[in-house]
Chains A and B, each alone.
Chain A
């Protein structure tokens, strides 16, 4: 291009204003190359917060303060949903060991199955009530793991296990149980229990009663003479035993932790889809206060950083416009002289563009050189796309500025006016 060499010499000698532009570009380069790291750091903080803070939830009764009756369908759906982990599921039924009097009555009276509790009591009324399984405090607990029930988890260290068995037995579905110590049974014994589902309207009559046999594989430290008695079996075994729909078997306690706290909103939506937000019997309570309180400012910070990212490139374009406008505006006389000497307007404009592009390259180089002095891995920040975008934004702003400044009135120049 004609006259480019001398034009570039003039540009080079304009070092003061060019230095300002170059320093701005260098600073912008350093900032914008580091900026993605700020976003990553904010997102990492957010991720760390999500990872560190658990969200737990549990079922509650929708109608009162008693233990809820949680349909198994909810348990199964939530377990399979992929949202939750470390669930604690417990169910229980009233039970009692089969007493000899009741056993005798069962073996001798062919109508025994049709007898109500009151009739059984009447027939063997000399026996203690507890032997008739009338005590609703005695319970058979079904747990999905040893820590599902707080009471049993405290007893766990006292449990003597049958060889080949451990607390892992709760994960299975074998009809085994952990019995109170000093109850007159030994490890490995089979016990027959009367389990009943009470009629809530009449404690003397049952909805259903059944005799169930369990193998004793553990003896826990709560003594048999303490009241009430608690026997613990795997939840799956209990489910299998009460699989007949007439039992109306349900969970009495179900709590869980979200696998990934990030899925909280999705999980809440899932619960709504299950109808748990308006279920007449049960609801789900979620403790997300700590998460919400911690995450909210971090989310806002990360969102702000992400949102501002394109804005800063806009600033570069704007500064490109203003810096170029201010520096080239003062060169109106120079452009006029070039035109007066016979240079075309297009040539003047193209030269100006070339000068700005070279100036931009110098500024970028200065910025990248500065970055090299900052300790750390270059691969962490070196982003050719960002460098190209900075250059593009600056040149775009400069180009628009030049549309205003490169045009000159040569006649005014001739008359000594600018």
Chain B
């Protein structure tokens, strides 16, 4: 059974001067334990589609369902807190919190505090290869790859089963990008996450279990 399902999803950006149909009728079911890649040129609607899957916004038409429940019927803040995790190209870490504190943050939102939160955070950081020496560093003291790994650890700490990554290797060199991709693969195949990656990189697409090719807001190819 699919964990996340898009049913004839449309989304239109409306401004004073024009309406842009960013997503036009996308329907797809995403399952756990798989790595999905959504590819396409800039402006084809990939990020918009991802944001709808993440519950950051609601479709203009159609719906997105998580475990059979429409996101429009859910508390979308709770949905992002507990069921989906986002990883972005720009890492989106809190610059004034240490590595450990950044990973602990989502746990505090769920009411896990103090020693318990710290223990979980340490485990997640170990899982992405960041040992104790990294715990007290600020993000500015880390490389791009290390920051992205912290972001992944934070996503793992939220206990979500769906991981949405928007150009996770976009700001990384080849080696770091490869490391991140390996972690995402492991999460999907070994830990059973539903990992959906939006990317330009065809190399990533070649490693994905399923690829969705978008153009002008529509799926033109899937395999």
Contacts and interface: CB of A to CB of B under 8 A. Distances in A.
Nearest to B108: A3
B89 A416 contact: yes
B222 interface: no
Interface of A: 2-3, 5-6, 9-10, 13-14, 333-334, 336-337, 339-345, 410-411, 413-416
Contacts of A336: 92
Contacts of B77: 339, 342-345
B108 A342 contact: no
B163 to A, nearest CB: 13
Contacts of B104: 6
Interface in B153-205: 154, 158, 166
Interface string B108-119: 111101000000
Interface string B15-26: 000000000000
Given A13-B96, A337-B94, A341-B109, A416 B101 contact: no
Given A411-B51, A414-B50, A342 B109 contact: yes
B8 interface: no
B81 A343 contact: yes
A9 B109 contact: no
A358 to B, nearest CB: 16
B79 interface: yes
Contact of A2 (B89, B95, B111): B111
Interface residues of B, number: 35
B88 A414 contact: yes
Interface of B: 47-48, 50-51, 54, 56-57, 77-82, 86, 88-90, 92-97, 101, 104-106, 108-111, 113, 154, 158, 166
Contacts of A410: 51, 56
A248 B78 CA distance: 101
Majority SS of interface residues in chain A?
helix
Nearest to A342: B81
A411 B96 contact: no
Contact of A341 (B47, B48, B80, B89): B80
Contact of B92 (A3, A340, A344, A345): A340
A13 B82 CA distance: 28
B75 to A, nearest CB: 8
Given A3-B108, A342-B78, 13 more contacts: A2-B109, A2-B111, A6-B94, A6-B104, A14-B96, A341-B106, A344-B77, A410-B56, A411-B47, A411-B51, A413-B92, A415-B47, A416-B89
Contacts of B101: 6, 9
A43 B140 CA distance: 58
A342 B92 CA distance: 14
Given A3-B109, A9-B101, A414-B86, A342 B48 contact: no
A340 B77 CA distance: 8
Contacts of A13: 96
Contacts of A10: 94, 96-97
Given A9-B97, A341-B105, A411 B57 contact: yes
Nearest to B104: A6
A2 B109 CA distance: 5
Most buried by A among B94, B110, B113: B94
B171 to A, nearest CB: 9
Most buried by B among A342, A343, A344: A342
B166 A340 contact: no
Nearest to B154: A341
A15 to B, nearest CB: 10
Contact of A343 (B86, B109, B113, B166): B109
By Cβ-Cβ distance, the 9 closest A-B pairs, closest first, are A342-B81, A342-B80, A10-B96, A344-B77, A13-B96, A3-B108, A2-B109, A411-B51, A416-B90
10 contacts: A2-B108, A2-B109, A2-B110, A3-B109, A9-B101, A341-B105, A341-B109, A411-B51, A413-B92, A414-B166
Nearest to A4: B108
Given A411-B56, A414-B86, A416-B88, A340 B94 contact: no
Contacts of A14: 96
B121 to A, nearest CB: 11
A343 B79 CA distance: 10
A342 B51 contact: no
Contacts of B80: 340-342
A313 B54 CA distance: 45
A337 B78 CA distance: 15
Given A5-B113, A411-B56, A342 B94 contact: no
A80 to B, nearest CB: 78
Contacts of A345: 77
A5 B154 CA distance: 17
A333 B94 CA distance: 9
A10 B104 CA distance: 13
A340 B80 CA distance: 7
B105 A342 contact: no
B110 A6 contact: no
Contacts of A340: 56, 80, 86, 88, 92
Contact of B47 (A333, A342, A414): A414
Nearest to A418: B90
A199 B79 CA distance: 113
Contact of A414 (B51, B94, B105, B158): B51
B56 A414 contact: yes
A3 B105 contact: yes
A341 B56 contact: no
Contacts of B54: 414
Contacts of B81: 341-343
A415 B47 CA distance: 7
